Chains A and B, each alone.
Chain A
Amino acid sequence: MTPAERPDGVSPAPTGALVRQALIDAHEPDPGVQISVTPLPGGASRDAWIISGAAGRYVLKRDPVEEKTPWSSRQREYLGALAAYQAQVPVARPVCFEPAGGRFVSAAIISAWTDGAASPRRILAMHDSTKSRNALLYDIGRAAGRLSRIDVAAAIGAADANDHVSLLGDAAHSDGSADILSATLAAFTRDLLRLSPDRPVLAIGLRWLMINRPPLAAPVLVHGDFRLGNLMVGDNGLSALIDWEFCRSGDRATDLGFFCMRPWRFGHDQNRAGGLGDLATLLDGYNATSNFEMTPARVHYAEVLGQLWWGLYCLRNSRAYGDGEHRNLQRLVLGRRIAEIEWDLLKLMDEVH
């Protein structure tokens, strides 16, 4: 029975026995037969469960079984997270990747459990002083800087040979194309004309990106969804950057710009960098670990780029409901966020003339 046919619309969970075998095959300690598989609420686009056994806890993330053409690749997600883990970026340790058609039916990954809060509002509440927020922001910048040093082709190149997933703006995949921005803007143009050819504000944003391009820089591995909601934060600060679903080859300011977007400030709009503090602190952390001197102007450009990506992603989710690709109300209603995105785009373009 598919989720669409089930009265609660929820994908059936993988069995404990299958999860146990996957962990053993990945050379993890035997979790035993008493395994609990509990839904992990939060994510709208993938299914996820907390796995608890005798040897500890894990997170299993799987493509919805009814989704015929997933929008992002679990293999790429696994490889991107693994490369980041090996480069000492704080990441939930990737344990294994299971391909579609395997033991979990659709493609899946298992990661080790990481302690900490992933709720932006909780993180902001936990860090209620400027000093504490700046310390966290600096650590986030350091993590982004380390990430930018990873060789993107070596990290996720292996996924692309069989990766037919069409991600928004991901035209260049990880082939090391030097001019990643040209490829991205060309893909945005195609997507805009296909998804919403009657929205002048998005077109103005795209034209602004074409006119105001920063100097060329080699592409790097980007997380692609770098925001407070995808960070695990514990008592000792940043513990993991999670949810590598959209990792890809991109311009090196992509993650910093996305982090600064207004939707991810959670009401603390005066604090441009993730609602935590100012951009300078984030860049101090980034420049301490990166091999590239990042500028505020380049981050500003990437923020506009991120707004466009987010807008097209929302439109695509909305369209996909009508096309019968999914039956998820949360993804359908994303289309109504477009006015927020248009407003933010207009404000951002006003900041630089």
Chain B
Amino acid sequence: MNEHPDAGELSAALEEELRQISVLAPNEFRMRLLVAAHCAGLIKRDLAAKAHEFQPEMHGVDQTRLVQEILYGARDKDIVNLRTSMKDEVREKLAVANPGYAQA
């Protein structure tokens, strides 16, 4: 599908529009408009990153099972390595959710 503006362009334009309106809005609505603009920005970055969607299995490991193993102590011996390996995944998610947060 080659519709223009595409979803990424529309969400970017929507974010900009909402931020502009927020400056003119009464106090009680300004914050709500900024939150809406923030959401439009998230959608824009999600689309650009092809959306970091939930994956029940990452690197061949079932995440729900992994959580159970961690909570009940079965992964205590390699928990430091596990933490290290999680950092890259979280950094990727942060690049969409809050760019720059991991660099600060």
Which A residues have a C-beta under 8 Å from some C-beta of B? 8, 10, 39, 41-42, 189, 192-193, 197-204, 206-208, 211, 269, 329-330, 333, 336-340, 342-343, 346, 349-350, 353
Check A41 against B27 for contact (C-beta < 8 Å).
yes
A39-B28, A329-B32, A330-B31 known; A204+B83 contact, CB < 8 A: yes
Task: Indicate if the CB atoms of A343 and B31 lie closer than 8 Å.
Answer: no
Total B residues in contact with A, Cβ cutoff 8 Å: 39
Contact with A along B68-95 (1 / 0, CB 8 A): 1011010110011011001100110110
Distance from B14 Cβ to chain A, minimum over Cβ atoms (Å): 13
Residues of A within 8 A of B83 (CB): 201, 204, 346, 349-350
Q: How far is the CB of A154 from chain B (nearest CB, A)?
A: 35
Q: Contacts A189-B71, A333-B42 hold; do A200 and B63 have CB atoms under 8 A apart?
A: yes
Q: Which residues of B contact A336 (CB under 8 A)?
A: 42, 97
**Residues of chain A with a CB closer than 8 A to B67's CB:** 192-193, 197-200, 202-203
Cα–Cα, bound, A269→B101 (Å): 11
> Which residue of A has the minimal Cβ distance to B34?
A330
Q: Is the interface of B mostly helix, strand, loop or mixed?
A: helix
Q: How many A-B residue pairs have CB under 8 A?
A: 97
Contacts of B19 in A (CB 8 A): none
The verdict on A198 contacting B93 (CB below 8 Å), with A41-B28, A343-B102 known, is no
Closest to A349 in B: B83
Tell me the minimal C-beta distance from A202 to chain B in angstroms.
8
Q: Chain B residues near A8 (CB, 8 Å)?
A: 29
Residues of A with C-beta under 8 A to B93: 339, 342
The CA of A330 and the CA of B31, in the complex, are separated in Å by: 9
Residue of B nearest to A341 (CB): B90
B70 contacts across to A, CB distance below 8 A: 200, 203-204, 206-207
CB-based contact B54/A340 at 8 Å:
no
Interchain residue pairs A-B with the least CB separation, the first 7? A339-B93, A198-B63, A203-B70, A203-B67, A339-B97, A330-B35, A39-B28
The docked-state distance in angstroms from the alpha carbon of A201 to that of B94 is: 14
Contact B79–A204 (Cβ < 8 Å): yes
Given contacts A189-B71, A203-B70, A339-B97, A333 and B38 within 8 Å (CB-CB): yes
CA distance in complex: A192, B73 (Å): 16
B98 within 8 A of A: yes
Contact B71 A207 (CB under 8 A): yes
CA distance in complex: A339, B87 (Å): 10
A201 to B84, CA, bound (A): 10
In the complex the two chains form, what is the Cα distance from A337 to B93 in whole Å? 10
A331 closest partner in B (C-beta): B35
> With contacts A204-B82, A346-B83 known, is A333 near B35, CB below 8 A?
yes
Contact between B102 and A10 (Cβ–Cβ < 8 Å)? no
Q: Are B56 and A198 in contact (CB under 8 A)?
A: yes
In the complex, are the beta carbons of B76 and A329 less than 8 A apart?
A: no
Instruction: Assess the B82–A198 pair: CB atoms within 8 A.
Output: no
- Tell whether, in the assembled complex, residue A10 and residue B42 are in contact, meaning their CB atoms are under 8 Å apart: no
Provide the residues of chain B in CB contact with A339, threshold 8 Å.
Answer: 90, 93-94, 96-98, 101
